[in-house]
Amino acid sequence: MSAPTESHQPLAVHTAALVKNYGRGDNLVQALKSVDFEARCGELLMIVGPSGCGKTTLLSVICGTLGYDSGSAAIFGRDLASMSSAQLTAFRGRNVGFIFQQFNLIPSWTALENVSVPLLLNGVGRAKAEKASAALLAEVGLQDKLKVRPGQLSGGQQQRVAIARAIVHEPRLLICDEPTAALDAASGRKVLELLKQRACRPDRCVIIVTHDSRIFSFADRIAEMEDGQIKAVHGTGDTQKLYV
Ligand SMILES: Nc1ncnc2c1ncn2[C@@H]1O[C@H](COP(=O)(O)OP(=O)(O)OP(=O)(O)O)[C@@H](O)[C@H]1O
Ligand SMILES: [Mg+2]
């Protein structure tokens, strides 16, 4: 992937000749066909492309929840293949936040309990974890919903709980799959402002898959995917052509 950026920031994510196939024989799907991808610390990078082109697959490989067939993938210079599954789980728990396309909230837990999970997993005490989680839920406009379970929340509210859960432990890498799909324009902008605030630190990176052209202006760079490959990368000020 060519990178129209002057940034000399360290690499947050790097993949080279990354290949991921699903199934075999007649059912073989080549979801990633030799993907060279990089995202740098300090940037908010968006990935766009038609349904089925491999966006979620790429995110899943990057965050270490999905294996791959060949090539390489590294986060903050750590080759994913060099880590055991226990090491990868611990590394991911400390360094990566993930907003899933399907929110993946735990249905029997309240919003506050759902958001607290990453902090509890990182050894933070319950009282401190819940205080930080409540503050973040208030930041995304859900101060009245702390004790409510996901089933009683609207799609947009569930999405905001998922966003709070992904950033509560201040991950160095935040990976978001369609984070504004269920949000109205004003809530979407608010969420992007929050994410941008986290991304603009020199040691952190945010990668967002989106179809939502209303938020393109928040990106530092936009990578276009097509049919399992990165087709082009656009720098800041070069995104107008993506609105068509
Ligand atoms: N578990 C799976 N088993 C088999 N094929 C899969 C699986 N997951 C995804 N695929 C296929 O891999 C390709 C890429 O899927 P992926 O979910 O990465 O697309 P996407 O770009 O995220 O699409 P969307 O915008 O609809 O979310 C598609 O052809 C899809 O059908
Ligand atoms: Mg997807």
pLDDT digit string, tens, across residues 150-205? 999 998 899 999 999 999 999 999 999 998 888 888 888 888 988 888 777 889 99
pLDDT of 244 strictly over 90: no
Strand partners, 15: 37, 73
**Angle at which helices 155-167 and 111-121 cross, to 10°:** 20
Q: Does domain 11-104+170-243 have CATH number 3.40.50.620?
A: no
How far apart (Å, rounded) are the C-alpha atoms in residues 1 and 188?
A: 28
Distances (CA, A) of 228 to 85, 149, 152, 216, 231: 26, 37, 37, 21, 9
| Arithmetic mean of pLDDT, 33-60 | 95
Helix (H) or strand (E) holding 243: none
Mean pLDDT of the chain: 91
Q: Is the CB of 29 under 6 A from ligand 1?
A: yes
Q: Is the CB of 125 under 6 A from ligand 1?
A: no
pLDDT digits (tens, 9 = 90+) for 63-117: 899 999 999 999 999 999 999 999 999 999 999 999 988 888 999 999 999 999 9
Residue among 20, 21, 29 whose CB has most ligand 1 atoms within 8 A, to mutate: 29
Every domain of the chain and the residues it spans: 11-104+170-243
Q: Is the CB of 67 under 6 A from ligand 1?
A: no
Among all ligands shown, which has an atom nearest to the Cα of 22? Answer: 1
Residues in the chain: 244
Distances (CA, A) of 131 to 59, 67, 125, 138: 30, 36, 10, 11
Q: What is the pTM of this model?
A: 0.92
Q: Hey, is 52 helix, strand or coil?
A: coil
Q: Is the CB of 61 under 6 A from ligand 1?
A: no
Taking the CB of residue 129, how many other CB atoms lie within 10 A of it?
23
How far apart (Å, rounded) are the C-alpha atoms in residues 37 and 3?
A: 9
Taking the CB of residue 232, how many other CB atoms lie within 10 A of it?
15
